[in-house]
């Protein structure tokens, strides 16, 4: 899927009519979108005088070239699965959670706190620490849901503002005089960070592969089941389609809005928690500012289907995992990955363009009306 400039398993962009198997059809637009995103990325790489084939080759090798590389890709993909699930879940309920970034930070720092403060048996310690991180983040989501449903504050603005609040808050928690600070005994150069978590809280690797990734797949499946196979999920989707009709049908829209944002933020918080417990081992401020935005791209690539979030996150995770090798081999700045994501986001959100490019004008896709206006 991460082929060079044209993805090999995508139909060639020429010819009047391409016959695609029925099972492929929902994946057609995302796959072409990925190919187009990589193509535009290649043009930008050319614009700074570098060779896109070298750059993409290095990314592929850095992401899949060795067992270590595959492990790294899965590690990178894990918080992205949660970030994508958070956005997709909110979309199902008609809400746009653009605050994944802040929720991830809160989840990460509180999971770290639980991890270095308590030392329970591993089977309890890991779920407990994950839960602490997820619940702390879900408080943020509950606030956003309440602001939206009761006070009419649009979630796009409140979640963005809370991203900055969370960034400042976590920075304060771990600064050298903050309550979660790493004490001078273990922190000779006075860095702003938490102590290392106890080994009982570390999420292990199994056969070189991070267990956290498999956990994220389980959570994705639970999300899918909750949304598609339960009454609650049906109510959430009804509110997402039409809040007024849902209210008319007797669904408590206020409560459901708060619940959807709470769950969405919980998922994002789990993402931060898994990253802390499985990869970094402690919380340090200043992690990737794009995590929250990547969740949006992933959710849309997956067309808000929780199960499809997993491959979408793997793709973006592979791009991220491969960047360090690309940087080592070529002069391409790592931000190329963010730009490719922006392009992919555009193409998956504008299927008209994709269908026009591959000349399937007849096949109008149902448009994803995802978000609501300020009045909501």
Partner 1 sequence: MKLDPKVKRIILWSIVAAIVLGWILAYRWDADQTTAVASRTVRAAAPLLLGALCGVIGERTGVFNIGIEGQMLFAAFVGFMAASYSGSLLLGIAAGVAGAMVLGLFLGWAAVTLKMDQIIAGTVINVFALGFTSFYYVQGRTMPSFPSWSVPGLDGLPLLGKSFFSNPPLTYLAMIATVVVWIGLFKTRWGLRTLAVGENPGAADAVGVNVIFKRYVNVTIAASLAGFAGLHLLQSANSFDRGMTNGQGFIALAVMIVGRWHPFGAAAGAALFGFCIALEAQLQFNDALDIPPQFFGMIPYVTTIAVLAIAGIRARPPAAGGHPFEKE
The binding site for partner 1 (CB under 8 A) comprises 44, 48, 96, 98, 147, 151-154, 156-158, 160-165, 168-169, 171-172, 175, 177-178, 289-290, 293, 296-297, 300, 333, 335-336, 338-339, 341-343, 345-346, 349-350, 352-353, 367-375
- Of the chain, the end-to-end C-alpha distance in Å amounts to 38
Pairing of strands 209-210, 205-206: antiparallel
Nearer to partner 1, 70 or 350 (CB): 350
Positive or negative CA dihedral for 271, 141, 296, 29?
A: positive
Place of tokens 């978590």: 197
- Closest approach of Cβ 94 to partner 1, in Å? 12
Could you tell me if 149 and 246 are in contact, meaning their C-beta atoms sit under 8 angstroms apart? no
Rounded to a whole number of angstroms, the minimum distance from the CB of residue 96 to partner 1 is: 6
Q: How far is the CB of 66 from partner 1 (least distance, A)?
A: 28
Structure-token pair, residue 282: 């402690």
**Strand, coil or helix: what is 65?**
coil
The distance of closest approach from Cβ of residue 366 to partner 1 in the complex, given in angstroms and rounded to an integer, is 12
Shortest reach from residue 110's CB to partner 1, in Å:
17
Give 194's DSSP letter.
P
Q: Quick check: 55 and 49 in contact, CB under 8 A?
A: no
Minimum CB distance to partner 1 smaller for 124 or for 289: 289
Q: Of the two residues 46 and 249, which places its CB atom closer to partner 1 in the complex? A: 46
Burial label for 11, CB within 10 Å (0-12, 13-18, 19+), is middle
* Nearest-angstrom CA–CA distance, 49 and 125: 51
Q: How far is the CB of 156 from partner 1 (least distance, A)?
A: 6
CB of 32 to partner 1, least distance (A): 15
- CA distance linking residue 215 with residue 224, whole number of Å: 14
Which CB, 64 or 171, lies closer to partner 1? 171
The residue behind tokens 């949660």 is 82
Contact 38, 287 (CB under 8 A): no
Query: What number of helices (H) and strands (E) belong to the chain?
Result: 14, 2
Ranges assigned E (strand) in the chain: 205-206, 209-210
Distance of closest approach, residue 316 Cβ to partner 1, in angstroms: 12
Q: Report d(CA 220, CA 309) in Å as an integer.
A: 8
Structure tokens at 320: 């991220």
- Are 137 and 266 spatial neighbours (Cβ–Cβ below 8 Å)? yes
Residue 220 or 300: the one with the smaller Cβ distance to partner 1 is 300
Nearer Cβ to partner 1 (1/157): 157
Nearer CB in complex with partner 1: 135/156 = 156
Question: What's the min distance (Å) between Cβ of 170 and partner 1?
Answer: 9
Q: Closer to partner 1 by CB, 279 or 365: give it.
A: 365
Residue (of 322, 238, 234, 277) closest to 110 by Cα position:
277
Closest to partner 1 by CB, 53 or 352: 352
Instruction: Using the minimum distance from each CB to partner 1, give the nearer residue, 78 or 101.
Output: 101
In the bound complex, what is the minimum distance in angstroms from residue 121's beta carbon to partner 1?
35
Q: Are the C-beta atoms of 81 and 313 separated by less than 8 Å?
A: yes
């Amino acid at each position: 899927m991460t082929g060079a400039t044209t993805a090999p398993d995508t139909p060639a962009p020429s010819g009047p009519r391409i016959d695609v198997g029925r099972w492929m059809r929902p994946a057609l637009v995302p796959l072409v979108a990925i190919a187009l995103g990589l193509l535009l990325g290649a043009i930008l790489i050319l614009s700074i005088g570098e060779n896109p084939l070298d750059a993409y080759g290095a990314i592929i090798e850095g992401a899949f070239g060795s067992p270590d590389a595959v492990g790294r890709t899965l590690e990178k993909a894990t918080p992205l699965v949660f970030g994508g699930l958070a956005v997709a879940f909110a979309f199902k309920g008609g809400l746009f959670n653009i605050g994944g970034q802040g929720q991830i930070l809160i989840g990460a720092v509180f999971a770290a706190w639980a991890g270095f403060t308590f030392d329970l048996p591993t089977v309890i310690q890991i779920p407990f620490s994950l839960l602490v991180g997820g619940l702390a983040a879900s408080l943020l989501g509950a606030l956003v849901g309440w602001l939206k449903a009761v006070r009419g504050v649009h979630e796009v603005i409140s979640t963005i503002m809370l991203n900055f609040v969370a960034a400042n808050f976590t920075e304060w928690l771990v600064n050298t005089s903050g309550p979660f600070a790493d004490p001078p005994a273990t922190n000779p150069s006075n860095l702003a960070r938490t102590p290392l978590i106890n080994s009982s809280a570390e999420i292990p690797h199994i056969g070189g592969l991070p267990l956290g990734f498999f956990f994220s797949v389980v959570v994705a499946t639970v999300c899918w089941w909750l949304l598609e196979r339960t009454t609650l999920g049906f109510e959430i989707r009804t509110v997402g389609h039409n809040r007024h009709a849902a209210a008319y049908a007797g669904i408590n829209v206020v409560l459901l809005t708060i619940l959807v944002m709470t769950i969405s933020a919980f998922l994002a918080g789990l993402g931060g928690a898994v990253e802390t417990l499985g990869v970094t081992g402690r919380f340090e401020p200043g992690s990737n500012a794009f995590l929250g935005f990547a969740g949006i791209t992933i959710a849309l690539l997956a067309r808000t289907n929780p199960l499809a979030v997993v491959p979408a996150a793997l793709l973006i995770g592979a791009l991220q995992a491969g960047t360090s090798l690309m940087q080592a081999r070529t002069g391409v700045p790592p931000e190329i990955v963010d730009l490719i994501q922006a392009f992919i986001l555009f193409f998956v959100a504008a299927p008209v363009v994709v269908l026009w490019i591959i000349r399937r004008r007849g096949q109008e896709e149902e448009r994803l009306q995802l978000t609501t206006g300020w009045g909501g």
